Chains A and B, each alone.
Chain A
Amino acid sequence: MGMIVHPPELYPDEQINQDVLRPVFVTTWKWWILVAISGGGFMAGLATWFYMMATGMWVSGLHRPVMWGLFISNYVFWIGLSNSGTVISAMLRLSKADWRRPITRAAEAMTVFALLIAAQFPLIHLGRTWLFYYILPYVNQRQLWNNFRSPLVWDMMAIMAYLGGSILYLYLPTVPDFAILRDHAEGIKKKMFTLFALGWRGTRREWTTLNACILSLALLVLPVAVSMHTIVSWDFGMTLVPLWHTSIFGPYFVIGALYSGMALVITIILILRWAFGWQKYITPFHLDKLGKIMLVAALVWFYLWFNDYITAWYGKLPDEKIIFDIKNAGPFYWWQMTMMLSNTMVALPLLAFKKFRTSPWAMFILTIFINIGMWIERLLIVVPSLVQKGPSFTWTTYHPTWVEWMLTVYPLAGFTVLYLLFVKVAPLISVWEIREDKVACATKKMGQAELRAVVAE
């Protein structure tokens, strides 16, 4: 039968409320220190962005023909991170995997915040950020329209659809929890939670509607997530640039996003586990399951990467060979080696062992390395193809400046701030879903057999 996930007798309702709702109401000095540090980083990044807007793009290391650099690498990286939260939650809900319950909320929130961060990078990298709205198909007197043939317009629409879907998908399952919070809170917080709870009373009809909504939203948001990452890959795949122009980028980006996003989900739930003492909710059992999904993602990711690699090598098209060589023997060699080491050579064999997958510390360290590797992977997609494209007279190298490095740290700080603030707004473990699990897991004796008292959903 495997490991016992939630021994129900240990979880009286009051205990669950106590454990899970505490971070919303109790604020420690540690929280303030973390908010101060990450908030400082966030403000510094924002100031750097405004400095670049005020002085010009020359403060970055970008130049012809390297028109996209760290900004777009970061964009692809954070879009990738945003993938797994909603996707894993939707997949597990649809497949009725009961063990999903303690991790869905944290994962869904991760998607929304990573996406909010990622969506800033197309703006950061614009030459005239203040005119970003030209890309929107808005009605205007001059009858100007945007170019629907451009992958950047598809990108904008995909981000908006995915952001809207993910916010709804985070909000809907939180409504019953807002109602619980409303019933526990006082003063201004009570007013806030009353507003968020939308008058939830917990009638049978409300529950039926909510479950139907969540399931249909899960079904709808999955294709949106897949299209989001495919469209990001088309920013590259639809061009004439050597080693960008490949049809494998669609699935490759989707699986890469799942891989890095899964790694971040694990990193986050482990931090929550330690920070709030949720060891009995987030158990090695969950790490094992998530680790298995990540192992599959790692295998498929390597398979697609290898496909792309071997095709470029075997084809030896002159333009592609130039880029291939600088990745494999030139200045990007060590970047590529680091990526392969952390994402495949180390991660694959380690993830194959259950003992490794169930060890919180080991998984924490590995998932961080996987995300460093995935960041490098995005860098290796964006930059090498640009430094040596076109006539060899114009070939260059690319050295990011402090502005670009600041704006690489900025999203990390921004993401942390958003997440820390969210801790005070909603319980990061879904209270009602845990309770539902308790009911669903209760057993009943029928002669010799022990049967589930309630069939889930």
Chain B
Amino acid sequence: MADWISDKGLQTATGPRAAGRRWGLVVDLDRCTGCGGCVIACHAENNLALAGPLDTDQGRSFDWIRIERYWDGEYPDLKAQFIPIMCQQCEAAPCEPVCPVFATYHTAEGLNAMVYNRCIGTRFCENNDPYNVRYFNWFEPALNWPDPLANQLNPAVTVRSRGVMEKCTFCVQRIRDHEELARIEGRVMKDGEFTTACAQSCSAKVLIFGDLDDPGSEVSQLVQSDRRFRLFESLGTEPVVYYLKGGQG
């Protein structure tokens, strides 16, 4: 089987095409205005189910990327701080070993992948996820997009069924698309040739996506910054989402 694939010039997911790549995301908090554009883009790109105010209030919304708002100071001298939080695609992801059925695992290119068909819904991964960025499908998918919203679903992304977990994929469908494109055109993928939906829609250029193992990529340059930090770094989860923030406030 493997021979047949290489004869045709195709490559497997964990094979040569993944080698030497480590996807990462940089979030420049000094630029974030908390507009929520990334959240909308993510909903449109990844077929995120819509939850009403009641379900959102109950913690059953789907926000693969969410903007957390924290208040600084005392009234009237208040300052809002925004931090977009998405799956940190940890290199030592605590959600992975606890899954009894391998529904979530690490790919060779550093993605924390989710196999929806494999998931039986123990929800252990979300318990062991310190960032609370895993989302469970409480409802029938048909209820999530009342007509005519079902017509705008992205055909490149699976609609998840009831009872499975889901989470940010770093827009893996875009990664695969551009890999194919580069292969057909017989070239290597360029840095910045494509980006995730959230990064694409961010008007303040807060989010920058790229290959951390490519020394010339924009993310590689940015993570050298001394404004760099990672969320809950002391837990040793080794996230590949790097936040940038300088000074106070």
Contact yes or no, B132 A394, CB < 8 A? yes
Closest to B231 in A: A391
Partner of A64, one of B70, B121, B122, B136: B136
Contact with B along A257-297 (1 / 0, CB 8 A): 00000000000000000000000000000000000000000
Contact yes or no, A241 B127, CB < 8 A? yes
Contact with A along B221-238 (1 / 0, CB 8 A): 000000000000001010
Contact with B along A377-392 (1 / 0, CB 8 A): 0000000001001111
B140 → A minimal CB distance (Å) = 6
Contact yes or no, B162 A56, CB < 8 A? yes
Residue B239, interface by CB 8 Å: no
A135 to B101, CA, bound (A): 6
Contact yes or no, B126 A393, CB < 8 A? no
Contact yes or no, B124 A152, CB < 8 A? yes
Partner of A147, one of B58, B100, B126, B136: B100
Residue B94, interface by CB 8 Å: yes
Inter-chain contacts of A153 with B (CB < 8 A): 100
Query: Is chain B's interface secondary structure helix, strand, loop, or mixed overall?
Result: loop
Residue A144, interface by CB 8 Å: yes
Contact yes or no, A64 B132, CB < 8 A? yes
A-B contact pairs, 11 of them (CB 8 A): A57-B121, A63-B60, A64-B132, A64-B134, A68-B127, A125-B123, A128-B162, A131-B120, A150-B97, A156-B100, A396-B59
Contact yes or no, B69 A238, CB < 8 A? no
A57 to B137, CA, bound (A): 8
Residue A151, interface by CB 8 Å: yes
Contact yes or no, B120 A144, CB < 8 A? no
Inter-chain contacts of A29 with B (CB < 8 A): none
12 more A-B residue pairs beyond the given contacts A57-B136, A67-B136, A122-B122, with a C-beta to C-beta distance below 8 A: A64-B59, A64-B134, A127-B137, A127-B165, A147-B101, A152-B100, A239-B94, A240-B130, A241-B127, A389-B130, A393-B68, A393-B70
Interface residues of B in 130-187 (CB under 8 A from A): 130-132, 134-140, 161-165
B22 → A minimal CB distance (Å) = 23
A147 → B minimal CB distance (Å) = 5
Contact yes or no, B138 A56, CB < 8 A? yes
Inter-chain contacts of A145 with B (CB < 8 A): 102
Closest to A394 in B: B132
Find the residue from A66, A149, A150 having the highest chain B CB count within 10 A.
A150
Residue A451, interface by CB 8 Å: no
Known contacts A127-B136, A240-B235, A386 near B127 by CB under 8 Å? yes
Interface residues of A in 30-66 (CB under 8 A from B): 56-58, 62-66
B interface residue numbers (CB < 8 A to A):
55, 58-60, 66, 68-70, 85, 94, 97-102, 118-124, 126-132, 134-140, 161-165, 235, 237
Report the interface size for chain A: residues with CB under 8 A from the other chain: 42
Closest to B140 in A: A56
Query: Is chain A's interface secondary structure helix, strand, loop, or mixed overall?
Result: loop
Partner of A150, one of B66, B124, B164: B124
Contact yes or no, B85 A391, CB < 8 A? yes
Closest to B94 in A: A240
A82 to B8, CA, bound (A): 58
A366 to B124, CA, bound (A): 35
A154 to B73, CA, bound (A): 48
A146 to B118, CA, bound (A): 10
A51 → B minimal CB distance (Å) = 14
Contact yes or no, A390 B130, CB < 8 A? yes
A128 to B162, CA, bound (A): 8
Contact yes or no, A238 B98, CB < 8 A? yes
Contact with B along A387-412 (1 / 0, CB 8 A): 00111111010000000000000000
Inter-chain contacts of A132 with B (CB < 8 A): 120
Partner of B120, one of A126, A241, A386: A126
B110 → A minimal CB distance (Å) = 19
Inter-chain contacts of B129 with A (CB < 8 A): 65, 390
Contact yes or no, A149 B85, CB < 8 A? no
Contact with B along A226-248 (1 / 0, CB 8 A): 00000000010011110000000
Inter-chain contacts of A58 with B (CB < 8 A): 55, 60, 138-139
